Copies of this chain bind each other. A is one copy, B any other.
Amino acid sequence: MTVPTLWLDDISVGDRFRTETYELGAEAIIDFANAWDPQPFHLSEDLARDTFFQGLAASGWHTAAITMRLLVTSGLPLATGIIGASIDLAWPTPTRPGDRLHVDLEVTDVRASRSDPSRGFITAVYDTVNQHGEIRQHTTARLLAFSRP
């Protein structure tokens, strides 16, 4: 686990971070779906076969949760944590059993708050990618960050 040490002052446009890797299998996909997104295409290979996904696919929220876990444990070591203000998400392709995912992140904007210069917002654009380079999730996040005290 990366020790979070970076303040708003330490982050610049163009900074890049790459996380470690997270592998998921069919059982993990089904467990997550039973808890949070119990739809046929996330619950079993048999039920998924004749759906839009043509086979078992992870819930997009599972991919989003894995993405967050990767960023928190190995991706973006902000001293005060990763606090999302707003997020845009897209899932260009479904996450599949056997995917080994990592996240590639780039900072595209950094600005201090006008009303309170002790805080500001970082815009980060990141892709959640499998071992074949297939993009499973594309995210733009506006994150709250704080200046070094």
A binding-site residues for B, Cβ under 8 Å: 35-41, 51-52, 59-61, 64-66, 68-69, 72-73, 80-91, 144, 146
Chain B, Cβ-Cβ closest to A141: B89
Chain B, Cβ-Cβ closest to A71: B37
Q: How many copies does the complex hold?
A: 2
Measured between beta carbons, the chain B residues less than 8 angstroms from A72 are: 37-39
Main secondary structure of the interface of A (DSSP, over half): mixed
Of the residues B51, B66, B68, B80, contact of A52 by C-beta under 8 Å: B80
16 contacts between A and B (CB under 8 A): A36-B68, A38-B73, A39-B72, A41-B81, A51-B80, A52-B81, A52-B146, A61-B64, A65-B65, A84-B91, A85-B90, A86-B90, A86-B91, A87-B87, A87-B89, A88-B89
Chain B, Cβ-Cβ closest to A91: B84
For the complex, what is the distance from the CA of A51 to the CA of B68, rounded to whole Å?
Answer: 19
Chain B, Cβ-Cβ closest to A90: B86
Measured between beta carbons, the chain B residues less than 8 angstroms from A87 are: 60, 87-90
Measured between beta carbons, the chain B residues less than 8 angstroms from A144 are: 52
Does B52 contact A83, Cβ atoms closer than 8 Å?
yes
